[in-house]
Structure 1
Amino acid sequence: MQRFGLPVLGSLLLVSTLACGSNDDEHNPPPNDGDGGAGGAPVADEVTRTSWRDESGLVQVLLTTTLHPDGTRTLHGETVLDLSRQYLGETAHVTLVEDVVLAADGRLVTADLRRRAAMAAKIFEHRLEADARAGTLVATRSSGRVELDLDTDPAWLVTFLPFSPLVPFSAPSGVACATMEGAVRASAEVMFLDANPMGSLPLLLQGAGDGEHPSSLRLMDNLCGYDPSNGTVRTLASNVLGELRADSDAPAHLVPALDINRGDPVIARQQCDAPARFETFEILADDGSTLAGQIDLPPGTGPFPVVSFHAGSGGIERTGNYFGVPQWTCLAQALVDAGIAVVRYDDPGHGESPGDFAALSYEDRDAHALAVSRYAAAHPLVRTDAVFALGHSEGGNHVSRAALAQPELRGLIQVAGVAMTGAEIVEIQAGRPYENAGYSQQLVNALEQQVRVTMNAIRDGSLPDDQLPAGTSRAFWVQFLDADGVADAVAAARPTLVLQGVADWQVPPRNADLFEDALNAAGVDVQVERYPYLGHMMTPNTPGFEGIGEEYGLPLTFAPEVVEHIVTWVTAQASVSN
């Protein structure tokens, strides 16, 4: 998953594009015996019901639009996907129930969006409730409830991206398409809310509508066709197998209403102060990239121990702003409070660093880690005998490789670090979440085999560039697939802290075992800390749901025990070298 750690090549046996036919709306015109004014009969609601289904029964979609006399609209949508056939006959059902109220000009009033996924042995439920008038958002998931302020003008529109766990594409949603159409009519900005555990829960802002009526609106993986003559959404498309077609005989209600209210504890958005004392920098790496960043400094004259931060695949800005929370900034503040300086930077194409991250090779990122670590060691307020580098996920590989060229690096911190080869970890990522959800070994093997075929095609050059995973270069993959994390760590031969979430499916716990065994065998000082129920981002997962990415989307920083171990280890290592 880009930005969260290592890139995933894709993991379903089904992926094709839907072609959609136009629908035949069931249109109930309002009775109107008068003009609705004095002496005339009141104007009633106007109800339009539209439904789609594919021939195999894999997908059924219902959209009911109610136009009220005051011009407001109520949207009710139901979607059912039976993907069992694509999962080798094993259970894979996704259900969406969505209710949205729009003002007369298309602006959001309220949204209540529910999703249930029955996947093999487990059921996942999510609910998103937004009230634009009050400016509130409540997301209920198996990991708990998150209550947030929308922090925006209530005029903004909301649309739902109805992904489900373990289904890496969006389901057709009549409500999402109609809401998007409302945004265009209102010339309003669009605000996306995403209850996807593999995606961002906070707000993702997109461009403003232009007030025109396009023939189609692209909404992530959904294609919504808008008919300007009558203001209706006339087609839907998604990358689900099959063809959706109009179905005027579909039942009025495809699914029962979902009432998802677990009563889980509230997960509060974490806050932290940014370090008050810092200096910005701009440096040139050996690959020619310009890297912008900053060094955060504790009070006093120093010199201070220093830790540089290096992100995983996909890159990110120096704040480490995952899911609306600046994880790097918060971790930096904790280290600064302990008297430790921190260096963090924007990856190319992020923040203030120019360039195209997607064009980088794997070795280019080695050069970035080396350049930043060298900057840290050369700073006049830094102790040259107490320079450390922290890498998250793929970032851990790059700090090990940077250490080979920088004697000043005193120690390395592997946060969800990869001990395997790139080829091994990507193969595991293809099947691990499905295995954890209770799917058979037959399905897991099929998914892993699909990835092996793709990797071989990358190696031999038979996979065209336009079919490479988004945001990556061929040079990256050629170098990454053969990179060996544990071999690089042993060659670096630096004191190493390994931090591993037991619930991490992207870089599973076996990686910590490999680091521990190999470094101990090589006589390298290694400390390993394992955390039950922490996932890849070092944030809590749900007991019983570990290993399917449920921790993603939570507005949390690194768990307190992780921060404590980092501070304690760096302090101890700095004392030894002093």
Structure 2
Amino acid sequence: MVLLSGGGAFDRDGSSGPNKPLKDLAWGLAGRQVAVLRFDKPTFAHPDRLPADFTMVEEYLPPALAAVDLLRARPEVDPHRVHLVGHSMGGKVAPRIAAAAEPPLAGLVLLAADAQPMHEAAVRVARHLAALTPGPGATELVAALVRQAAVVAGPDLAPDTPAESLPFGLSAAYWLDLRGYDQLATAAGLGLPMLILQGGRDYQVTVEDDLTRWQQALAGRPGVSIRVHPDLNHLLMPGTGPATPAEYARPGHVAAAVVEEIADRLLGR
């Protein structure tokens, strides 16, 4: 399998504070006889070599497709059994990569994969965090994101729209590309087996805002399994009570049940 990390300048471990969820997945699956390839994202490894107006395509497709080809060329790997496993935005982009892969991949595993448009999700998460720590700064942040999200969704978004007026300082090209990509329709059109796992305590990618969209888009599709792990957060790590950003600062590990479930799917059990 090829591991895809989430949105942002992530290393091959998906490092978030003291936690390394992609390293947990890689080591856990390798211990169950699954070959794993993971890589530093271009935004982490060489951001200076990316164009200022890079899109999700430049961010993910070249290294992911190269990783697929590299795995297929290994003599100890069955080239017909290579899967993509994407976390968060890595799950969003996985159908796009699969659509470009030739020959076709064996399947997809989507972990906390977002389906809600990213500019809408940014506002939702900002409001959630502002409710946890209310104050003038939080209110101003939400208001700024609302304005920026309106530009993304509006008819006047153009290639020359300044990045300063858009969420996260990403270029207009990035947002225009995202607006033109429908991960749900792309996934539905692939005809590949899929396993979709979601944490019930995840406030970044949620059952209500994201998983329900995957369920609707893939309803009735053979070979698609969807499961919610009620006690897991966005990093697929267990906890209790409502998840907060402070939880990410505490060391943890991806739940063993997630590793087992992915291994069972990839190994055909």
TM-score using structure 2 length:
0.82
Q: Does 1:346 align with 2:48?
A: no
Gaps of 5+ in 1: 1-306
Contact residue 148 and residue 166 of structure 2 kept, 8 A: no
1:433 deviates by: 4.3
Change (3 A) 1:403 1:499: same
Q: Does 1:500 align with 2:198?
A: yes
Match of residue 227, structure 2, among 529, 533, 536: 529
Rounded to whole Å, the distance in 2 between the matches of 1:413 and 1:550 is 27
- Equivalent residue number for residue 122 of structure 2: 426
Change (3 A) 1:493 1:354: farther
1:410 deviates by: 0.5
Name the SS of the counterpart of 1:342 in structure 2. coil
Instruction: Map residues 267-346 of structure 1 onto 2, 5 A cutoff.
Output: 307-346=1-40
Match of residue 367, structure 1, among 62, 66, 69: 62
- Per-residue CA deviations over 1:325-370 (Å, capped at 9, x if unaligned) read 3332232111111111001111114247973486531122233322
Name the SS of the counterpart of 2:227 in structure 1. strand
Instruction: Map residues 401-412 of structure 1 onto 2, 5 A cutoff.
Output: 401-406=96-101, 407-412=103-108
Contact residue 535 and residue 549 of structure 1 kept, 8 A: no
Q: Does 1:489 align with 2:187?
A: yes
Superposition RMSD on alpha carbons, in Å?
3.0
- Equivalent residue number for residue 213 of structure 2: 514
- Equivalent residue number for residue 376 of structure 1: 71
Name the SS of the counterpart of 1:493 in structure 2. coil
Q: Does 1:551 align with 2:247?
A: yes
Contact residue 418 and residue 485 of structure 1 kept, 8 A: no
1:472 deviates by: 2.8
- Per-residue CA deviations over 1:109-142 (Å, capped at 9, x if unaligned) read xxxxxxxxxxxxxxxxxxxxxxxxxxxxxxxxxx
1:399 deviates by: 1.5
Name the SS of the counterpart of 1:533 in structure 2. coil
Rounded to whole Å, the distance in 1 between the matches of 2:261 and 2:133 is 31
More strand per residue: 1 or 2? 1
1:311 deviates by: 0.8
1:313 deviates by: 0.8
Rounded to whole Å, the distance in 2 between the matches of 1:496 and 1:431 is 32
Rounded to whole Å, the distance in 1 between the matches of 2:183 and 2:78 is 28
Change (3 A) 1:339 1:505: same
Higher relative CO (CA 8 A, sep ≥ 6), structure 1 or 2? Answer: 2
Q: Does 1:417 align with 2:116?
A: no
Contact residue 3 and residue 84 of structure 2 kept, 8 A: yes
Contact residue 534 and residue 541 of structure 1 kept, 8 A: yes
Gaps of 5+ in 2: none
- Per-residue CA deviations over 1:24-67 (Å, capped at 9, x if unaligned) read xxxxxxxxxxxxxxxxxxxxxxxxxxxxxxxxxxxxxxxxxxxx
Contact residue 539 and residue 551 of structure 1 kept, 8 A: no
Change (3 A) 1:513 1:436: farther
- Per-residue CA deviations over 1:59-94 (Å, capped at 9, x if unaligned) read xxxxxxxxxxxxxxxxxxxxxxxxxxxxxxxxxxxx
More helix per residue: 1 or 2? 2
Aligned residues: percent identity? 27
Length, aligned pairs only: 259
Change (3 A) 1:358 1:549: farther
Rounded to whole Å, the distance in 2 between the matches of 1:466 and 1:450 is 11
Change (3 A) 1:380 1:419: same
- Per-residue CA deviations over 1:196-232 (Å, capped at 9, x if unaligned) read xxxxxxxxxxxxxxxxxxxxxxxxxxxxxxxxxxxxx
- Equivalent residue number for residue 392 of structure 1: 87
Counterpart of 1:556 in structure 2: which amino acid? G
Counterpart of 2:226 in structure 1: which amino acid? V
Rounded to whole Å, the distance in 2 between the matches of 1:535 and 1:357 is 33
Rounded to whole Å, the distance in 2 between the matches of 1:358 and 1:322 is 25
Counterpart of 1:530 in structure 2: which amino acid? V
Name the SS of the counterpart of 1:453 in structure 2. helix
1:497 deviates by: 0.8
Change (3 A) 1:542 1:329: same
1:411 deviates by: 0.7
Name the SS of the counterpart of 1:381 in structure 2. coil
Counterpart of 2:107 in structure 1: which amino acid? G
Contact residue 542 and residue 550 of structure 1 kept, 8 A: no
1:515 deviates by: 1.6
Contact residue 367 and residue 402 of structure 1 kept, 8 A: no
Change (3 A) 1:450 1:400: same
Counterpart of 2:7 in structure 1: which amino acid? S
Rounded to whole Å, the distance in 2 between the matches of 1:318 and 1:379 is 20
Change (3 A) 1:315 1:460: same
Rounded to whole Å, the distance in 2 between the matches of 1:468 and 1:421 is 14
1:470 deviates by: 4.5
Rounded to whole Å, the distance in 2 between the matches of 1:330 and 1:482 is 33
Contact residue 162 and residue 172 of structure 2 kept, 8 A: no
Counterpart of 1:455 in structure 2: which amino acid? V
